[in-house]
Structure 1
Amino acid sequence: MIKKVAARVVAALSLLTAEIVVVGGVFMASALLFFYLTRVVFVGQSVQFDNWAFGQLDAVRAAWPRLTPVMQALTFFASLPWLVAAGIGLPLLLRRWGHRREAWEVFAAVAGAALLNQVLKSHFHRLRPDSALIFQSGLSFPSGHAMIGLALYGCLAWILWRHRRHPIWGLLLLLFALLIGLTRVYLHVHFATDVVAGFAGALFWLIMLRGVFQLGFRDDGVRR
């Protein structure tokens, strides 16, 4: 009996250690990637990656021109109206269904990422590409669609995974967020470095948020 309990404890500790290593590694990698991109864009002033990405997607657009309306439709799902509706509506629904912790997680993911994105944009003050296919106001670095979109869909994916429900849907949500980021480069409303920086910022914020909620809530969703 004692041996079985000890084996379970060791197994649980090994899983916990692996989780800490993975999450900590992603946290550090996202922070380093964001810092590296600021050096590339604002210190080195390199546009090599941005021009390459534009060239690749321009070739796709030239080959399949009917793809453009699809990209315009997809990009809506990380637009300001959609994020406001999702950032308020989803938490209200989750709270109504009895998922109090998850409601706060989604709200904090969207609201925090939006606030952080505006602070970063104001600080770096990078102008948007002058070749945009659609009008888009505001600054460019990092991409709000990429950052807040991944914060929203990444948070929902994490909630699904934590409750061991529909892991495939969680993966699809992450892929959907990545696709939305791709639409921003396709439509020339963001440089590729803006989008990658937005993804890095979203991961950084989501992991910080995860740590805060693990400290503040028990597994049953009640505050500690």
Structure 2
Amino acid sequence: MNRFTARIVALLGLLTVEVIVGGVVLFGAFALFFYMARVVFVHHSLALDQWAWSIVDGWRQAAPWLIKPVRFVTFFAALPFLLPASLIAPALLYRAGQRREAWELVLAMAGGIILNQLLKMYFQRPRPADALLQTLGLSFPSGHSMLGVTFYGCLAWLLARHYRHPGWAVPLLLWAGLIGLTRVYLHVHYATDVLAGFAGGAAWLLLLRAGMHLFWKEEKQILDAVAK
């Protein structure tokens, strides 16, 4: 087997189901984010946002009591909750001997917060004028949606991949999706903000996972070489 053929075989060996699915999701996340940005900032269309608001406004009129549960749910992706959670959860993981997983969660949240703020400053989209909850800052992409996907998506991955509890992945991701929906319900974000936030959070998490995988793999190879 010549060198070229051996390299092709090695590359094909890297194409596991995990890598293929991750690549497809990453491509889809980037595509969704840039499509939302194009809809908002190139075409200046509010059709999707108005359609989404018409639906959630109908829910609010039919069940006015939902406002309190919605505010309760939306809190679980707010910084007053996520900042302590992003320190406590990694500390518990580190104490349990899960050093890699602890660093992964810390980096995911720190990078997610920074990236979200950079994107907001770049796009400079004001928030909706008729918000039902006083909220500061810019609108695109939604921080609650982006950081919710980052935090709960990372937890879902850790539980499914490292702790063999894949059943928790779906509820955690649905919870992140529900939080995004509350942002539209409360008129603190446009639906396009929320979809872009989901896409941005998923893309960041997948890129971080790829980087962490390469880092730990290279570190292991160095340690093995030193040991020999």
Same fold (TM over 0.5): yes
Task: Say yes or no: does 1:198 pair with 2:200.
Answer: no
Residues of 2 paired with 1:36 and 1:16: CA distance?
A: 28
The question of whether the paired residues in 1 share the 8 Å contact of 2:75 and 2:81 is answered with yes
1:66 is paired with a residue whose SS is helix
- In 2, Cα distance between the equivalents of 1:223 and 1:112? 26
8 Å Cα contact 2:160/2:168 also seen in 1? no
What is the Cα deviation at residue 171 of structure 1? 1.3
How far does residue 223 in structure 1 lie from its aligned partner after superposition?
Answer: 8.7
| Structure 1 counterpart of 2:120, one-letter code | K
In 2, distance between residues paired with 1:105 and 1:24? Answer: 19
Paired AA for residue 59 in structure 1: G
RMSD: 2.1
1:21 paired residue number:
20
Normalising by the residue count of structure 2, what TM-score does the alignment of the two structures yield?
0.88
Residues 145, 197 of structure 2: 8 Å contact kept: yes
1:92 touches 1:103 (CA, 8 Å); kept in 2? yes
Contact 2:94 2:102 (C-alpha < 8 Å) held by counterparts: yes
> Is contact 2:160–2:167 with CA below 8 Å preserved after alignment?
no
8 Å contact kept, 1:136–1:189: yes
* Native 8 Å contact 1:216 1:223 kept in 2: no
Partner residue, 1:52: 51
Cα distance change, pair 222–74 in 1 and its aligned pair in 2 (3 A): farther
* Aligned equivalents of 1:45, 1:215: Cα separation in 2: 40
Partners of 1:165 and 1:17 lie apart in 2 by: 18
Q: How does 1:133-144 map to 2 (within 5 A)?
A: 133-144=132-143
Q: TM-score normalized by structure 1?
A: 0.90
Runs of 5+ unmatched residues, structure 1: 1-9
Count of aligned residue pairs for this structure pair: 213
Alignment of 1:27-38 (within 5 A): 27-38=26-37
Counterpart of 1:177 in structure 2 is: 176
1:109 maps to 108
In 2, distance between residues paired with 1:130 and 1:27?
Answer: 33
- Report the Cα distance in structure 2 between the residues aligned to 1:223 and 1:19, rounded to whole angstroms: 25
Give, as a single letter, the amino acid of the residue that structure 2 aligns with 1:103.
A
- Cα distance in 2 between the residues matched to 1:85 and 1:17: 35
Shift in alpha-carbon separation, 1:168–1:96, aligned structure 2, 3 A: same
The residue type equivalent to 2:33 in the other structure is F
Q: How far apart, in 2, do the equivalents of 1:178 and 1:203 lie?
A: 12
Aligned to 2:152: 153
Deviation at 1:216, TM superposition (A): 1.4
Q: Please state if 1:129 is matched with 2:95.
A: no
**CA distance in 2: counterparts of 1:16 and 1:98, whole angstroms:** 30
Instruction: Flag structure 2 segments of 5+ consecutive residues without an equivalent.
Output: 1-8, 224-228
Q: CA deviation at 1:222?
A: 10
From the superposition, tell whether residues 222 and 83 of structure 1 become closer, same or farther in structure 2 (CA, over 3 Å).
farther
Residue 210 (1) aligns with residue 209 (2): yes
Residue-by-residue CA offset, 1:22-76 (whole Å, 9 max, x unaligned): 1111111111111111110001000000000000000011111111100000000
